[in-house]
Chains A and B, each alone.
Chain A
Amino acid sequence: MQTKLVSAVVAVLASGAFTGALAHEGLPSDYNFRDDIRPIFAKHCAGCHRPGGAAPMSLLSYSDAVPWANSVKMQVLGEQMPPWLPVDGVGAFRHTRSLTAAEIDILIDWTIGQTPEGEPLTADELRELEPAATEWAMGTPDLVLKAEADVLIGEDDYELEHCLVLPTGMAQARVASAFEVKPGLATIVRRATISLGDSCEGARPLATWLPGQGSVSLAGGSGQELPAGASVAVELLYVKGWEDEGKRLVDRSELGIRFSDSALAVSALRLSASHTFSESVELLAIYPELDPEEPLRIEVVRPGGDAEAILVIEHFSRQWREKYVLAEPLSLPAGTVLRLSQPVAWIDFIESSATTAE
């Protein structure tokens, strides 16, 4: 094809040819990068979209962000970004990654309105964006587990799931109140699912960790009991960004654990249809184990009450499979039925008698 970008055909546009189709002229947005956009990116996107982060590009400097404006527009309007699967308005969870109506509006207005920069960031401000030394968000962990060998992500691997089995070497049982993963190669570690035992298959999930999440804990001062001599299985999901395609990469991620002697150990159940609680419980977390094609709807029916949805996911994505930790424990009286539209989900809970005994 001969592309003549600016054709020599001179437009003969004599009349004021103009009809009902009144088009807008793409005037510059009132919002600018420094004052309006960067704070939103810093708050909701920087966990992944920063130099050296899990996402393929940083959004923190103007020159980094602007080329992605169209993509940001479509990803935000399509709700693919920020990645957060539960539908709005049902349940309240920790680590929620979603934007408010006003934030969406500001972002889209800017991407459509010629992406004004505002006052440029100074050289000092830009330097602050350099990847920080990787520290544990939880402070110094009580226990750090690390694989004996590197995980290899070969030239031909684009996406890889790898199961690390890490013996704790613990002489006695303890309650873990927080987990954190420190990625070896942060650009490709997209998810870690931490389970109890020596297999990643069907094992009891203790926690999931996603980039930018820092330390992960349960609500209500509770924790996960690790028995003496236990092993922890960590399933790592690696995804290469387009810049890493065809490269041979290695990772050696670490798992940090905090223990608490006062935390209550949760019980866990694997549910495949519905479950009736014979005791009253405090529900703490939900982990949908599969990625079904159909929407997932989990609801509770209290004795004599109406069904109340507590988690609804319309579209699953394997990459963003995670454990949903309730912002506040949900009290369910004895006789409450928990129903799910799709198998299988795990729940964490504590019996109410355990809390009142405190």
Chain B
Amino acid sequence: MMSSWFLALVLALPVQQSDETFEVWLCPVHRDEQSVRPGTCPVGGRDLVKRILVSSYSCPMHQHIDEDHEGKCPICNMNLAPMTRELQWFCPDNPEILNAEPGQCPDGSSMHIRSIPMAHGDHNPKHGGVLFMAPNGYNHLEGTLDEEGTFRLYLYNDFTKPIDATPFEVRIDDIPMKPVSGGEYLSAAVGAPTSYPAEHVVHVSFPGAEKDESRFDFIFAESMVTGVGAAETNTLILPEFRIPETADEIVEAIMHRDARLKELIANGVWPDLYIPALEAKDLMLALNAREGDKVSVAAKKLIRAAWLLDVYGDMGNRVEVESAYQLFEDSIQELEAARAN
């Protein structure tokens, strides 16, 4: 479901110590829809369900790591990042019994408790800019650029709620960014854009156990450059996606997606790459089912490339986006070679 709504449902929770729990009502489907009180999901109308959350430190790759302080992952040595987890009560002998609150197992013993990472997926910009997710899986960043050449960077947590930007050391094209309004965002003057798309490389050093820097490429088409607060609403209407009848038509549709990927990459609209990429992947799976072994090497490559474009498109690093697209292009070439034989 890809609708263009954006709901300002605010999660107004008190500031938490890392080992405290807090209650929240969630939509069972759109889990980003959170409320402090019972209600229904504004998207699908489902009743919100109560969950008990806890904040802790975890590894972006190994989400069972659950510490109450900063540090490094014992498995892969990555910096731990803060993470919101959901508490679950369960009965070891009756795995089918799961509770969101403490209770009793059929044998009369108290239920055991565990915490599981919470899925998040709201990657919608809040200030009309470009929004990326950091490799630590927790922080989200949004960059905006206005006509005067002021670049602003907003920092968010894993549920895309604003956080204090002060502890982040950030450079844009080697210009240090400074906190504004008590850390509401970071700002730097990068010069009014002279041509489009306007492109800026941002290096962010994340607070953590060890220096941990990531690169983000912010690319603004002319329509994206705005005055603050003047974000325009741009409803993207997607044509209905379907798999064509013949193999030739499927290949043609894949080529179409390839052209769209090229365009999105050039214009810096990387968070949208997943749309043509995943459509191309579904087309390719259909082709593979039809043509079998002949295209299976190309298919495997394209499936990987498409998902990598989805993953890296959200993270905004040019090197990674380009290497994923390279794989996509390789698979297209292999597909053409395989079908020429």
Contacts and interface: CB of A to CB of B under 8 A. Distances in A.
A278 interface: no
Contacts of A77: 304, 307-308, 311
B272 interface: yes
B29 A28 contact: yes
Contact of B6 (A9, A16, A63, A126): A16
B330 to A, nearest CB: 11
A24 B123 contact: yes
User: By DSSP majority rule, is chain B's interface helix, strand, loop, or mixed?
Assistant: loop
Contact of B164 (A4, A11, A108, A242): A4
A304 interface: no
Contacts of A11: 8, 10, 126, 161-162
A29 to B, nearest CB: 10
A109 to B, nearest CB: 8
A21 B163 CA distance: 21
Interface residues of B, number: 94
A151 interface: no
Contacts, number: 213
Interface string B189-208: 00000000000000000011
Nearest to B295: A101
Given A8-B15, A11-B8, A22-B275, A27 B29 contact: yes
Nearest to A68: B62
A63 to B, nearest CB: 8
A356 interface: no
B337 to A, nearest CB: 11
Contacts of B64: 67-68
Nearest to A104: B303
A114 B118 CA distance: 8
Contacts of B94: 123
Interface residues of A, number: 57
A236 to B, nearest CB: 24
Contacts of A16: 5-6, 233
A63 B91 CA distance: 13
B70 interface: yes
29 contacts: A1-B207, A3-B70, A3-B207, A4-B16, A6-B15, A7-B164, A11-B10, A15-B231, A17-B6, A17-B127, A18-B4, A18-B5, A18-B6, A18-B128, A19-B231, A20-B272, A22-B124, A22-B272, A23-B314, A26-B119, A26-B122, A79-B304, A102-B285, A104-B307, A108-B303, A112-B310, A115-B119, A122-B95, A242-B75
Interface of B: 1-2, 4-6, 8, 10-16, 18, 22, 29-32, 55, 60-64, 70, 74-75, 82, 84, 93-96, 114, 116-117, 119-131, 137, 157, 159, 161-164, 167, 184, 207-208, 221, 223-224, 229, 231-236, 269, 271-272, 274-275, 281, 284-285, 288-289, 296-297, 299-304, 307-308, 310-311, 314
